[in-house]
Structure 1
Amino acid sequence: MNPTRIRYGMLSLVFVNVVINYLDRTNLAVAASALSTDLQLSPAQLGWVFSAFGWAYAFLQIPGGLIADRFGPRVLYAFCLITWSLVTVCQGFVRGFSALFGLRLATGAFEAPSYPINNRVVTSWFPDNERASAIALYVSGQFIGLAFLTPVLTMIQTYAGWQGLFVATGTVGLVWGVIWYLLYRDPLDHRGVNEAELAYIESGGGSFRKKEPQPGQPSAGPGQAWQWSDLQQVFSSRTLWGVYIGQFAVNGSLWFFLTWFPTYLVKYRGLDFIRSGYLASVPFMAACAGLLLSGFISDRLVRQGTSVGVARKTPIISGLLLSMSIIGANYTNDTTLIIFFLALAFFGSGMALISWVFVSILSPKNLVGLTGGVFNFMGNLASIIVPIVIGYLAKDGDFKPALVFIGALGLLGASSYIFLVGKIERV
């Protein structure tokens, strides 16, 4: 009997989740120029508003990972989608800095479990030799969606205002939350999956069965009781610290593009708002290409017998070094070259985003969600720090120091993978 391919259908659902997830993160970036004028926000205040999502999102990653380990993706993801989408709709009715800051905090809080859930779904549905590709495909949703939908978002704002932009993007998430609940199932609960596919996934390292406890031992796997020693375990590994720091660097570049990038084009480079929407899509397409290329090359190297360490780390280190090319935009006033340097840098950042594969490879088998939560927490500290730092670096109207700062993060991340991440083996 040939294995079914239900896992790809489940991956497509996660892909759409990621598209919506990032629409509701970046709608503020599209709205920022008009919104900051209407609400009379200074560059520093705008930096704080951009960072508000990250405060809640980052600091709730560890609880989010614990929740992902304890509750099933079907119900938990539906709850998250619906709640963060309701908050997004409410952002269309704000009248000041405080209300907007609070609602962005709430958006981050309700989105916090999303990536630990994504990783749990992929760990459950895919064997090891397909996992980097699967991660690359679902993570590409954040770039494909933004590449093709950023011009749409700018048009919505042009005709419906920034208020209509928030209402429209939030409504999409409300509808999709219901669809996710109706369609998603775990491997053992899906009626369409056959035993051959389950055996293929499990023999290749996929993990979807709860382990039976030994006499006198606590149960393992999803749903187990959390202990402080679990947290100590995922914070005490030098290798994990290496990927944590690397993820902070990757996210530093990402959060520039998710927050300040449209404002950089409009206010600091003088581009027309609608034209900027089309140009802004180019780096996102480049990041998507880098991500997909990295994922497929990495998996191919594994299948050809290359060591896991070399196959997984090489694209990430190369991508982080390439992301430093963003500094090149400081040395030209030509719009085409500016977009070229930004796209090249984001291509490199995209290559490095297969780093989620290390959560599946390195984390203790019963702590995939918790490890993913810590990994995402460390990485998303960048969503707090980077927008605020850029706001202060650019407060006098000069954006060059901000781009140097982003480039330096790429060097930090590459150094972390080179010098801290050693032999790749499960903690």
Structure 2
Amino acid sequence: MANPEKILQPSPIAPGAQKKTRVRWFVVFMLFVVTAINYADRATLSIAGPEMSSQLGLDSVMMGYVFSAFAWSYVAGQIPGGWLLDRFGSKKVYFWSVFIWSVFTLLQGFIGFLGSAGTAIVALFALRFLVGLAEAPSFPANSRIVASWFPSHERGTAAATFNSAQYFATVLFAPIMGYIAYKLGWEYVFFFMGAVGIIVAFIWMKVIHSPKEHPRINEAELAYIEEGGALTNMDQAETKKEKKKGINWSQVKQLLTNRMLLGVYLGQYCITTLTYFFLTWFPVYLVQERGMTILEVGFVASLPAICGFVGGILGGTFSDFLLRKGFSLTVARKTPIVVGMLLSMTLVAANYVDTQWVVIFVMALAFFGKGFGALGWAVVADTSPKEMSGVSGGLFNTFGNIAGITTPIIIGYIIATTGSFNGALVFVGANALVAICSYLFLVGEIKRVELKS
């Protein structure tokens, strides 16, 4: 049976009617910019890591724990962050999120001045922990904003656009951060990214509004997105009474016992395992396993990221294309995910080649596949109950980012035990296979969850 949101296609505009504005695409552009900074801040430690670990005396296991510090708090903050979004709205919560995580990123640049290695390690772990806590509302906010601004047949493209910013962050910022670390020292990587984030936070506060309050949107665009299923009332005054309530744990339980959502959560955990390999250990892999310099890593790491960016845009576009061609929402979302994860599994082939350009090609193909299949946030926008869109996104991100805790630590132990990255690549590839199985055999039909009162 076709998804009801898919059926709500807007009618063509009659001759002489008002031409609709395209403010929604500016909104998704801002989500793209903020998400790029989000991921660049997460990756600062992987770029600064080789030089920093040498200065502070960190081995691979210790680095694994430091890499994971971000994810511990990021996971813990998902449900509270989602509740804050539902309570106070996306604009204000996102502003404070970006501002605070940028301040904590900047402060990491002072770690090297603490003198004692032990004190520096504790302070680094604490600051990474605080960055993760501050970033917790970011992706639930992205999904929430897309659900309120976009009709269902454009959500795949919109979600893929902001999600592909994680690759663009590497394309743009990895060479810059690599150059800064090479020329000025690893401390300045944190100073630079912290300052950029603070500036963007204030730009966000100035230009972002809800659909019904945006000064540049016209009636034609508002009607277009509403007819297509956009949830434009999420932050409006009529819902303030409901917003004052705390988290409804009975409704949270309904989300946690829904088979479709559990399959989506498991799939996201596995897909996020790939994300955190590339965010944390991939630059270290290029230095330690492939003998590259940190300056080379900054530029070489951007090549697979370009492929991930292209894959992300194509995956979302292809999904929406399938919807417009009459395929069900289930087929349109699952197909890119399964194909993308199959391509991601090719990274295991890097264990069997020695030529550097072949290794980069294999990683680029895996990056492309991960981007092509990264439609989880589109699925969240499609399935989240309108009463708990923030909490629903927070739950999804909680399960996904448990991988941010486990992946760096598991890979750290694999490297310490075996002395190479071979087992680590097999571990990451196996997670892509589990994601495929989850979407094929657990998720079932993709549809919006209706909560019982």
TM-score range, shorter chain: over 0.9
Question: Do structure 1's residue 423 and structure 2's residue 445 form an aligned pair?
Answer: yes
**Whole-angstrom distance in 1 between the partners of 2:313 and 2:181:** 30
| Root-mean-square deviation over aligned CA pairs | 1.7
**Whole-angstrom distance in 2 between the partners of 1:125 and 1:374:** 21
Corresponding residue number in structure 1 for 2:362: 341
Corresponding residue number in structure 2 for 1:75: 92
Query: Which residue of the other structure, out of 71, 74, 77, is the alignment partner of 1:54?
Result: 71
What residue identity is the alignment partner of 2:98? L
1:216-227 aligned at under 5 Å gives the runs 225-227=246-248
How far apart are residue 397 of structure 1 and its match? 2.3
1:362-373 aligned at under 5 Å gives the runs 362-373=383-394
Q: Identity across aligned pairs (percent)?
A: 43
Task: Tell me the alpha carbon deviations over residues 375-425 of structure 1, each in whole angstroms, 9 at most, x when there is no partner.
Answer: 000000010000000000001421100000000000110000011011122
What SS does the aligned partner of 1:310 have? helix
How far apart are residue 210 of structure 1 and its match? 5.0
Show structure 2 runs of 5+ residues with no match.
1-17, 115-119
1:212·1:219 contact (CA, 8 Å) conserved in 2?
no
Show structure 1 runs of 5+ residues with no match.
none
Question: Do structure 1's residue 329 and structure 2's residue 350 form an aligned pair?
Answer: yes
Q: Which range is displaced more, 144-153 or 309-318? A: 144-153
Corresponding residue number in structure 1 for 2:264: 243
How far apart are residue 145 of structure 1 and its match? 2.3
What SS does the aligned partner of 2:186 have? helix
1:348-367 aligned at under 5 Å gives the runs 348-367=369-388
**Whole-angstrom distance in 1 between the partners of 2:30 and 2:421:** 38
4+ residue stretches of structure 1 with deviation over 3 A? 210-214, 217-220, 222-225
Task: Tell me the alpha carbon deviations over residues 226-264 of structure 1, each in whole angstroms, 9 at most, x when there is no partner.
Answer: 311121011010000111010011110110000011110
What residue identity is the alignment partner of 1:352? G
What residue identity is the alignment partner of 1:209? N
Corresponding residue number in structure 2 for 1:183: 207
**Whole-angstrom distance in 2 between the partners of 1:10 and 1:211:** 15
1:211·1:219 contact (CA, 8 Å) conserved in 2?
no
Change (3 A) 1:211 1:350: closer
Q: Which range is displaced more, 122-131 or 224-233? A: 224-233
What residue identity is the alignment partner of 1:114? S
1:234·1:363 contact (CA, 8 Å) conserved in 2?
no
Corresponding residue number in structure 2 for 1:400: 422
Query: Which residue of the other structure, out of 119, 139, 155, is the alignment partner of 1:131?
Result: 155
Q: Which range is displaced more, 99-108 or 267-276? A: 267-276
1:71·1:223 contact (CA, 8 Å) conserved in 2?
no
1:28-427 aligned at under 5 Å gives the runs 28-94=45-111, 95=114, 96-210=120-234, 225-395=246-416, 396-427=418-449
What SS does the aligned partner of 2:50 have? helix
What SS does the aligned partner of 1:2 have? coil
1:393·1:399 contact (CA, 8 Å) conserved in 2?
yes
How far apart are residue 212 of structure 1 and its match? 10
Q: Which range is displaced more, 318-327 or 375-384? A: 318-327
What SS does the aligned partner of 2:204 have? helix
**Whole-angstrom distance in 1 between the partners of 2:257 and 2:130:** 31
Change (3 A) 1:211 1:399: closer
**Whole-angstrom distance in 2 between the partners of 1:423 and 1:240:** 10
Question: Do structure 1's residue 16 and structure 2's residue 33 form an aligned pair?
Answer: yes
TM-score (norm 2): 0.91
What residue identity is the alignment partner of 1:149? F
Task: Tell me the alpha carbon deviations over residues 151-178 of structure 1, each in whole angstroms, 9 at most, x when there is no partner.
Answer: 1110011112111110111010011111
What residue identity is the alignment partner of 2:220? A
What residue identity is the alignment partner of 1:363? S
Change (3 A) 1:350 1:13: same
What SS does the aligned partner of 1:271 have? coil
Task: Tell me the alpha carbon deviations over residues 326-369 of structure 1, each in whole angstroms, 9 at most, x when there is no partner.
Answer: 10000011101111111111111111211211111112121111
Change (3 A) 1:338 1:210: closer
